[in-house]
Chains A and B, each alone.
Chain A
Amino acid sequence: MRLRLIAASALAVALGAPLPEAKAAGTLTIAQAQDPNNWDPIITFLLSWGAVGSNIYDGLVMRDEQLNLKPGLATSWEVLDQGMRLRFKLREGVTFHNGEPFNAEAVKFTMERLLGPEGAKGPQQSNYTSIGAVEIIDPYSVDIVLKRPDPVMITKLAGYGAMIVPPKYVTEKGSQGFGAAPVGTGPFKVTGYENKVHITLEPSGHYWGGKPKLDKVIYKFIVEPATQVAELQSGRVDIASQVPIGMIGAITATANLQLLSTTGPTVTVARFNTANGATKDERVRKAIVMAVDREAIVKQILQGHAKPVTSFQSTLSFGFDPAQKPIPFDPAAARKLIAEAKLPPGTTVSVDFASNNTVFREVAQAIAGYLTAVGLKPQARPFEMNLFTNDIIPNGKTGEMFAMGWGGWTFDYDNTAYLMYHSGERWNPYDKDPALDAMLEGQRTIADRGERQKALQKIANYVAEHALELPLYNLDTYYGVNKRVKGLVVPPDNRFRLIDVSVD
């Protein structure tokens, strides 16, 4: 009897309340890889959170599709006290989806919650620790006071953790209740959520930035990329957010589907072990950089869905130097440098990477081929991802080269350079260079944007000059999209704003 009850209830779950068909008028269906399980902004860094949360919440500032800052819940802002005080003028007449008013109190509550014990339980707090206090000037003016210089803070206020939340509702519900039924000021409100199955949004009805054209947005959580593509091909989702490179052909070959792509946030490089082995010698490092043909890797393995890079940042990054020339592919010169270095015969060079990175697995094979061609003895070594990022890299147990992909979501080179090259940082087990440390610390204190940009460019050039890494490529962000979707602009940070999107 009991078994029958369980079976019956399972059947009810499976059969009851079927999801509306993707083809329904005005309904957009999107496949997302992961369910963060909790939609509280301070709890996660998952891209899935950003894709959904950006339609539920607003920040004081927001970024457009070109990643330029634009007003959000703040209509304007000023930088005071040499960059140590940020004053925001707030938008009036805005309410949260539950009717609570948005004002300076809500801003103070949001930031203090993020910086307090509740925020300490999640990973978002770490990005905002330069904030010292939040001071209310009047109900629609608020100051964010910094305790140390942080030129990237305004950009960070467009980040997940700084999304403004309703004080009364959050206090009443707690993180769990709030995370299960989130309320923000964004263009869409949450009307249905089934953990690990779907979250459904509908227009909130009174958005300050206009009226959405869609009646409904359904995000389905589908982990397996091949399954996402199958759902897209059979017309049950309109957007697949995870498309394996090998399946791009299947999408472009289908008449009603298209591939939309943009410059992605993630740059992949192979970093050098500058403390041990053959790569301790700068000449060997330079030789390796010259020995690898990045253009060919991008064309052949990545099928053109990436751009070769000259430093550990994309062209969109603040600190990118258009004048920086790539070191040309020159195997003859590489062989000469290696001969000069007089390596003992049979010296091996290993290329380490995380085994779940199927794209890099092929790239590693290609790199090994290039290194063999200049007389080195390469070996490609995959490691389990968690072990690789938790132990092998931070504890300096890698071989001569190790692959890393890094995507500074702020699109500011500081976010990458400081963590990768400053002595003692978690991701930097090998380099100890006082000159580089001084440059990295120095740029953080520069308030002038132009000056700081120059300082960051100088760092990128210094790193290339000393060949601290083998720059590889900036992978595109791309989505499989049904052609019935109109007005979709793919943002580099994966945070779709669906307000102008419609479906046929």
Chain B
Amino acid sequence: MGRFLLGRLALAVFVVFVVTLLVAWAVRLSGDPSVMLAEGSGAITAKDLENIRAALGLNRPFSEQYAGFLVGMLTGDMGNSFMGGRAVSGMVRQALPLTLMLAALSLAASLLVSIPLGIRAAVHRGGAADQAIRILSLFGLSFPNFWLAIMLVLVFSITLGWLPPAGADGPSSLVMPVLTMATILSATNVRLVRTSMLETLSAQYIMVARSKGLTETVVLYKHALRNCAIPLITYIGLQFGGLIGGVVVIERVFNWPGMGSLAFDAVASRDYPVLQAVVTVLATMIVLVNLAIDVLYGFVDPRVRAE
């Protein structure tokens, strides 16, 4: 077991390392931040640009810049933003909790909706409720998330005036971003719960539970749900990366000051330190979540350990 864990951990570290290297290398191919910084200057000369590059540390060889970044990440010093020189660690500390909160609430809201609906669809397989739920989920799958976001703003902010269209000004600011994310997530989750529930319901122990005279609620939510939770949890782990990716887009539309907004700004201005830090932090989180699932598998299924 120890060797299995160690192997998975080494693999995780390797993946994060490769991601940071790729990002640091690719972002440097995409444009010169000193020119972005000087945009609007009428009289910028090659020498001025050279000065700015030197001040940003961009005249050093790539290996040196990358090594500096790695050492910094390990010691918790993520460097300073090219745009204004703020400490990147402070910017990440401000943005990360906001993004995690959005992701967690969206996931929770989605589960609250998709579990009961999925179960209902499975129990009444082929009935009107099943058809309705499946069609609704198809709609959810087909919406691009930003389009849904804009439609919500149009209805709830501009027409009805109930909710703020943007910002992080209070609990009401959370409603539309969470609703958008949760709708998209629920579309797949509902189908997943339905399928795995159908499989579980045909198992013999369900028949036994029913013949013991247990109520349908106890059968469904105590016996069946527990068993179909395993594939659901697995899938949520895999979904995590996509969830974070979705949050990035949604943050921009709702002007939510999280990691997505930070990444967007950093890309636009070629702010290497901020972009590298954001990608590294998010990649590390995605890798950790998947590592945790790998480890859980190992506990649940001895065959995985033996591989």
A: residues with CB less than 8 A from B are 6-7, 9-11, 13-15, 18-19, 34, 36-38, 43-47, 120-127, 129, 175-176, 179-180, 195-197, 220-224, 226-227, 230-231, 233-236, 384, 386-387, 389-390, 407-410, 415-416, 419, 426
B27-43 interface code vs A (CB 8 A; 1 in, 0 out): 00011100111111111
Q: Which residue in chain A gives the minimum CB-CB distance to B56?
A: A121
Which of B36, B38, B150, B261 contacts A386 (CB under 8 A)? B36
The answer to whether A386 touches B30, judged by C-beta atoms less than 8 angstroms apart, is yes
B41-56 interface code vs A (CB 8 A; 1 in, 0 out): 1111110100110011
Q: Which residue in chain A gives the minimum CB-CB distance to B256?
A: A14
A236 contacts which chain B residues (CB < 8 A)?
164-167
CA A389 to CA B255, docked complex, whole Å? 28
Q: Which residue in chain A gives the minimum CB-CB distance to B171?
A: A15
B207 at interface (Cβ–Cβ under 8 A)? no
The answer to whether B40 touches A126, judged by C-beta atoms less than 8 angstroms apart, is no
B48 contacts which chain A residues (CB < 8 A)?
120, 123, 125-126
Selected interface stretch from B78-86, B128-136, B190-198: B78-86
A129 contacts which chain B residues (CB < 8 A)?
43
Which of B42, B56, B153, B164 contacts A415 (CB under 8 A)? B42
B: residues with CB less than 8 A from A are 30-32, 35-46, 48, 51-52, 55-56, 81, 83-86, 91, 94, 97-98, 100-101, 104, 150, 153-154, 157-158, 161, 164-171, 173-174, 252-255, 257, 261-262, 264-265, 270
CA A175 to CA B84, docked complex, whole Å? 9
Known contacts A222-B255, A386-B270; is A426 also within 8 Å of B42 by CB?
A: no
Which of A176, A180, A220 contacts B167 (CB under 8 A)? A220
Which of A175, A195, A223 contacts B255 (CB under 8 A)? A223
The answer to whether A38 touches B86, judged by C-beta atoms less than 8 angstroms apart, is yes
The answer to whether A121 touches B51, judged by C-beta atoms less than 8 angstroms apart, is yes
A14 contacts which chain B residues (CB < 8 A)?
98, 101, 168, 170-171, 173-174
CA A41 to CA B146, docked complex, whole Å? 36
The answer to whether B31 touches A390, judged by C-beta atoms less than 8 angstroms apart, is yes
B81 contacts which chain A residues (CB < 8 A)?
37
B84 contacts which chain A residues (CB < 8 A)?
36-38, 43-44, 179
Q: Which residue in chain A gives the minimum CB-CB distance to B174?
A: A14
CA A487 to CA B85, docked complex, whole Å? 36
Which of B51, B97, B166 contacts A10 (CB under 8 A)? B97
A384 contacts which chain B residues (CB < 8 A)?
30
Q: Which residue in chain A gives the minimum CB-CB distance to B42?
A: A415
B51 contacts which chain A residues (CB < 8 A)?
120-121, 125
A410–chain B nearest beta-carbon distance, Å = 7
The answer to whether B255 touches A45, judged by C-beta atoms less than 8 angstroms apart, is no
Known contacts A120-B55, A122-B37; is A15 also within 8 Å of B165 by CB?
A: no
The answer to whether A234 touches B164, judged by C-beta atoms less than 8 angstroms apart, is yes
Known contacts A195-B86, A390-B35; is A46 also within 8 Å of B257 by CB?
A: no
Known contacts A120-B51, A386-B36, A419-B42; is A230 also within 8 Å of B171 by CB?
A: no
The answer to whether A230 touches B170, judged by C-beta atoms less than 8 angstroms apart, is no
Which of B35, B85, B97, B173 contacts A389 (CB under 8 A)? B35
A466–chain B nearest beta-carbon distance, Å = 23
CA A180 to CA B39, docked complex, whole Å? 22
The 9 closest A-B pairs by CB, nearest first: A37-B84, A38-B84, A10-B97, A386-B31, A45-B40, A121-B55, A123-B38, A230-B165, A415-B42
A220 contacts which chain B residues (CB < 8 A)?
167
Most A CB within 10 A of own CB, among B51, B252, B254: B51
The answer to whether A9 touches B32, judged by C-beta atoms less than 8 angstroms apart, is no
B52 contacts which chain A residues (CB < 8 A)?
120-123
Most A CB within 10 A of own CB, among B31, B46, B158, B255: B255
B13–chain A nearest beta-carbon distance, Å = 21
Which of B40, B44, B150, B261 contacts A46 (CB under 8 A)? B40
The answer to whether B41 touches A45, judged by C-beta atoms less than 8 angstroms apart, is yes
A224 contacts which chain B residues (CB < 8 A)?
252-253, 255
CA A227 to CA B174, docked complex, whole Å? 15
CA A175 to CA B166, docked complex, whole Å? 31
B88–chain A nearest beta-carbon distance, Å = 11
B31 contacts which chain A residues (CB < 8 A)?
386-387, 390
B241–chain A nearest beta-carbon distance, Å = 19
The answer to whether A230 touches B270, judged by C-beta atoms less than 8 angstroms apart, is no
Q: Which residue in chain B gives the minimum CB-CB distance to A7?
A: B101
CA A473 to CA B165, docked complex, whole Å? 34
A208–chain B nearest beta-carbon distance, Å = 29
**Can you give 17 A-B contacts (C-beta < 8 A)?**
A13-B94, A43-B85, A46-B40, A122-B52, A126-B45, A129-B43, A179-B85, A196-B261, A196-B265, A223-B264, A230-B154, A234-B161, A235-B161, A386-B32, A390-B32, A409-B42, A419-B43
Which of A221, A222, A409 contacts B40 (CB under 8 A)? A409
A36 contacts which chain B residues (CB < 8 A)?
83-84
The answer to whether B157 touches A230, judged by C-beta atoms less than 8 angstroms apart, is yes
The answer to whether A227 touches B42, judged by C-beta atoms less than 8 angstroms apart, is no
CA A46 to CA B83, docked complex, whole Å? 10
The answer to whether A234 touches B97, judged by C-beta atoms less than 8 angstroms apart, is no
A221 contacts which chain B residues (CB < 8 A)?
255
Which of A13, A230, A390, A426 contacts B98 (CB under 8 A)? A13
A13 contacts which chain B residues (CB < 8 A)?
94, 97-98, 168
B170 contacts which chain A residues (CB < 8 A)?
14-15, 18
CA A11 to CA B222, docked complex, whole Å? 33
The answer to whether B97 touches A6, judged by C-beta atoms less than 8 angstroms apart, is yes
The answer to whether A175 touches B85, judged by C-beta atoms less than 8 angstroms apart, is yes
CA A180 to CA B265, docked complex, whole Å? 19
The answer to whether B37 touches A44, judged by C-beta atoms less than 8 angstroms apart, is yes
A144–chain B nearest beta-carbon distance, Å = 17
B100 contacts which chain A residues (CB < 8 A)?
6-7, 10
Q: Which residue in chain B gives the minimum CB-CB distance to A127?
A: B43
